[in-house]
Structures are given as C-alpha cells and as structure tokens.
Amino acid sequence: MKILIVDDNVDFCSTIADIVNEFGYNYECIYNPTDAMRYLDKYHQEISIMLLDIEFGISIKLNGLDVLEYAHKRFPSLPVVMISGKGSIETAVKATKLGAINFIEKSLVTKEKIKSILESSVYQNDNNINKDILSFLRQNGIIGKSKAIIELGDKIIKFGRTDLNILITGETGTGKKLVANAIHNISKRSKNELITVDIPNIPRELFQSELFGHLKGSFSGATETKKGLFQRADKGTLFLDEIGDLSPDLQANLLLPIESKIVRKVGSVEAESVDIRIISATDKNLLEGIKNNNFREQLYHRLRECEIIVPPLNERIEDLQDICNYYLKLHNEKYADSKSLAPSCYDYLSELAWKGNIRELSGVLRVILQTNTKDVLEVIDFDKYLQNGNHYKAMEKKKELEINMDSTLKESLANTDKKKIIASLEVNKGNVSKTAAQLGVSRETLHNKIRKYELNIKNFRLKD
C-alpha cells in the first residue's frame, strides 16, 4: 500500500515518510498542489491514503483544499487526511465538507497518531472499495456481498478496463451472461454495442454467414448483402456464449478472425478489418476438451488472455437471502404486489443444493410468487412445490453430503481418540487405572476402547 504525502515542508515530509516506512507502507512525497493533482491522475489506483497539507507557499496559487476538492470529485474512494500547521474550526469544517475523513494539526502529530490514522483510513478505504464494487455489480444484476462475489467484482473491473480477451467459466445458471455484460459496461467500449453470438442456436450451414456476413447471391437464399456479427460488433464487444458447444471443425473458422481482427464475407474476396474485443463463456471444461480433441488449443489460448471463474451458488450461500430479496423486489414492482418471505424460508432454501444455481433459484421463486395468493410465503409453500416433482430433490444430495461428512468426521474423531489413548498409555507404562484417570473416563470405558482400537496393553508395559 502506498501513502501519498503532500506538503511543501521538505523536512516534515521526510519525517512523515520515515514513520510511514517504519510501519511497512510505501510512500511518495509531493511538494506542491499542481504536481499532486498530476500524480493523482496517473497513479490514483496505487494510493491507499493521502496525507495533505492545507497551506502552501505564498507564490503557489493553489492550496490543499483545492487538491482535496479535486481528489474528491475525481477519486471519491480515496481517503484524504488534512494536516495543517494553522488549524482552525472553520478550516476543519470546510475540509470535512469537501470530503476529508480526518483533520489534525501538525503540532499534534506523533508516531502513534500517524499509525492510528493509517490503520483506520486504510481499513475504511478497503470498505469503500468493496462498497463501490458491490454497487457496480448490483447495477449489472449481480447480487450478493460475500467474499467470493467481491473477488468476482474486482476481477470484472480489473480485466474489464483492459482490452484483453476474456474467458468466463462456471457452472450453468451462475450468471455468466451478466458477467459478460458487466465487463462490457466497465470497458472503454461501453458506448458501442455488445453483440451476443448464441453458439448452440446457429445452424451449422449458416455459421460463416452469421458471423462474417455474406454478399447478395453468394448462396441459395442470399437475397441481399448482410453484415455478420463480427462487423456489427466493430468498436464494441463480441460475446461468444457457450463457446464450448462449438464443433472442432467450425472452431477453425475463428482462429484467424480473432487473432488478426480481419474477416471476409461469404462470397467476397475483400477482407475487412474489425476493431472488437472478444468475451466468451462456457460451462464446459475446455482443458478436458483439448485432451479429448473436442476443443482446439490454439483457440483456447486466443480466447483466454484472462479468465474469470463465476462461483456456484453453493460456494456463496450467504448471498442467497440477498438474491431472493432482489427477485422478490422485481416481482413486487412488476405486478404491483406486496409479497414477502417468512424468515424460515431463507434457512430452508439455504439447505438445498442448487445444481442449477441462481437461474434455478430465480425460476422457483418466479413460480412460487406468481402462483400463491398469500402475502407472506412460508416454507410449506416451497416444500409443496418442490416435492411435487417440479424440482430435483436437492435435499437428498444435501443429506448425502452430510452423511459423507459425518462419516469422515467420525473417522477423524476416532483416529484422534486412539492417538490420545496410545500417548497416555505410553506415559503411564500401560497402567489402565492411571490412564483412565488422566483421560477422565472409567476403567470400563477405557477397556472397551482398547478392545475397539485393538491395542495390546503388554506393548506399553515395562519389560522385566
């Protein structure tokens, strides 16, 4: 983490820098407002907090409040602490209104004060960053606040701002299309179109025509010249959905267009350049597909300059309540309804092993909400629907998992118990009474366990 120190007093900057360095932080010292604003423009993403003086030299037109106002407007998540040698209530109030999170006088600055400010401010910055990420995700229909969803959002934003091709992987129903849309929205191409290629629904014989276009009369039925999806996505983003379903022979048609960004309409000898960014998605294991000769390795590497793995619902089950409430709100707004879920419903739904992930959960909610007249839905309403064969028996899988976990846990406990008994018998040289007392069990219980674990007492006793 880097601390930006902005003050025209070189000695003071050096002192603060030494303290910051001692606490394990990197730092950068800037000595005038103009340079500080330029530095922020270029390196704001690297800065965890800015320590900013208010008063600068008479010859300098700008002051610290100007820098503060500039930073708050352009980089609202960046914490700024004002440090002044001429503190006043009016200045402190103004600094707070402009977005400063703290205001201290230079005469009160100590090593412990700096440490306290850095620790609390960096923590606050992390929280602000997380809030920004979650707000961005929610705007794009990605709901939750778990660690897994924050990490997902961080990757979407980080990779989305590049122009690299991104492969989105994850189980069916996890929201890969939403992720693709969010990537496009955060990218520099967001003002242009996101064109989706629905791979499984393109007829094999029309594949090249759909993707690269065709000239009028180039084949039977080509009554007019047509733009392909690659051309339509020019200056924007091309989303290859379910790319893992594309047959290996058709995959070859994508290699050159993706690498060179040059396409040719069916029936044409002229090549066209396209400025596109490729996002693709699949629920298939493409590496396994490469091993089985079902997916071309060259295409895999072209598509996967970055990879985003969308977590399944059961790996972020703590988000389930937020997801339910999101779809509940959409339902109520659409149908002018006022339905809600009893608190026990969330616990019940959390116990199901949602194989179809969020798509399945939203589908169940949609049916339940529209087919029940009650304002407050209860567990029995979900249970009746799920037990009527309208839904896979997720509870069976859940119970099976619990049984397996139970079995593993019992084995682990038994192994620990056996080790404790062996260690105690060794210390007490095979004396059962002393061992039982040490372990806090009766002699009878200990004898039963000795038989259960097939231990031989003679092996622990001293040889004559």
DSSP letter for each residue of 87-155: --HHHHHHHHHTT-SEEEEGGG--HHHHHHHHHHHHHHHHHHHHHHHHHHHHHTT----SHHHHHHHHH
In 3D space, the residue among 302, 198, 200, 192 whose CA is nearest the CA of residue 237 turns out to be 192
Please tell me the predicted confidence (pLDDT) of residue 463.
46
Per CATH, is 314-392 categorized as 3.30.1360.10? Answer: no
Q: How far apart are CA 96 and CA 90, in angstroms?
A: 10
Q: How far apart are CA 20 and CA 10, in angstroms?
A: 15
* Integer-rounded Cα radius of gyration of the chain: 32
Q: How far apart are CA 369 and CA 375, in angstroms?
A: 9
Instruction: Identify the helix (H) or strand (E) that includes residue 43.
Output: helix 33-43
The single-letter DSSP state of residue 218 is: S
Position 87 pLDDT exceeds 60: no
Q: How far is CA 256 from CA 239, 259, 261, 292, 383, in A?
A: 17, 5, 7, 23, 52
The single-letter DSSP state of residue 388 is: I
Please tell me the predicted confidence (pLDDT) of residue 128.
62
Residue corresponding to tokens 């610290």: 64
Position 146 pLDDT exceeds 50: yes
Please tell me the predicted confidence (pLDDT) of residue 395.
46
Please tell me the predicted confidence (pLDDT) of residue 430.
85
Position 196 pLDDT exceeds 80: yes
In 3D space, the residue among 309, 383, 381 whose CA is nearest the CA of residue 352 turns out to be 383
What backbone phi and psi angles, to 5 degrees, belong to 4? -95, 120
Q: Are 221 and 210 in contact (CB under 8 A)?
A: no
Asked if the domains 2-130 and 148-309 are classified in one and the same CATH topology, the answer is yes
Q: Give percent above pLDDT 90 in the chain.
A: 46
Q: Are 59 and 80 in contact (CB under 8 A)?
A: no
In 3D space, the residue among 2, 4, 116 whose CA is nearest the CA of residue 50 turns out to be 4
Residue corresponding to tokens 């503190």: 87
Q: Are 8 and 67 in contact (CB under 8 A)?
A: no
Q: How far apart are CA 391 and CA 356, in angstroms?
A: 10
Q: How far apart are CA 429 and CA 183, in angstroms?
A: 68
Q: Are 155 and 307 in contact (CB under 8 A)?
A: no
For the segment 431-444, the average pLDDT, to the nearest whole number, is: 78
CA dihedral 156, 162, 163, 164 (to 10 degrees): -70
Type of residue found at 403: I
CATH topology for 2-130 is Rossmann fold (3.40.50)
Type of residue found at 433: S
Type of residue found at 280: S
Strands laid side by side in the 306-309 sheet: 194-198, 237-241, 277-282, 166-169, 306-309
- Band of residue 397 on the pLDDT scale cut at 50, 70, 90: very low
The single-letter DSSP state of residue 191 is: T
Position 403 pLDDT exceeds 70: no
Position 442 pLDDT exceeds 90: no
Q: How far apart are CA 408 and CA 316, in angstroms?
A: 23
Residue corresponding to tokens 């600055």: 109
In three-state secondary structure terms, 316 is coil
Sheet strands (E) in 133-250: 166-169, 194-198, 213-214, 226-227, 237-241
- Band of residue 348 on the pLDDT scale cut at 50, 70, 90: confident
Position 17 pLDDT exceeds 50: yes
Per CATH, is 400-460 categorized as 1.10.10? Answer: yes
Quick: pLDDT tens for 281-338: 999 999 999 999 999 999 999 999 999 999 999 989 989 999 999 999 999 999 999 9
Q: Are 302 and 258 in contact (CB under 8 A)?
A: yes
Position 401 pLDDT exceeds 50: no
> Got the DSSP string for 275-298?
--EEEEEESS-HHHHHHTTSS-HH
- The residue among 79 and 461 whose pLDDT is bigger is 79
Q: Taking the domains of the chain in order of start, what are their residue ranges? A: 2-130, 148-309, 314-392, 400-460
How many other CB atoms are found less than 10 A from the CB of residue 88? 11
Please tell me the predicted confidence (pLDDT) of residue 97.
76
Task: Give the pair of three-digit tokens for residue 194.
Answer: 């996101």
Half-sphere exposure of 410 (CA within 13 A, CB side): 6
For the segment 25-35, the average pLDDT, to the nearest whole number, is: 90
For the segment 241-270, the average pLDDT, to the nearest whole number, is: 94
CATH topology for 148-309 is Rossmann fold (3.40.50)
Quick: pLDDT tens for 377-390: 998 999 888 887 65
In 3D space, the residue among 232, 152, 166, 226 whose CA is nearest the CA of residue 194 turns out to be 232
Average pLDDT, the chain: 86
> Got the DSSP string for 356-372?
THHHHHHHHHHHHHHH-
The CA-based angle 278-281-284, given to 5 degrees, is 140
Helices H, strands E: what count in the chain?
A: 19, 16
In 3D space, the residue among 235, 236, 184, 232 whose CA is nearest the CA of residue 212 turns out to be 232
Q: Are 460 and 430 in contact (CB under 8 A)?
A: yes
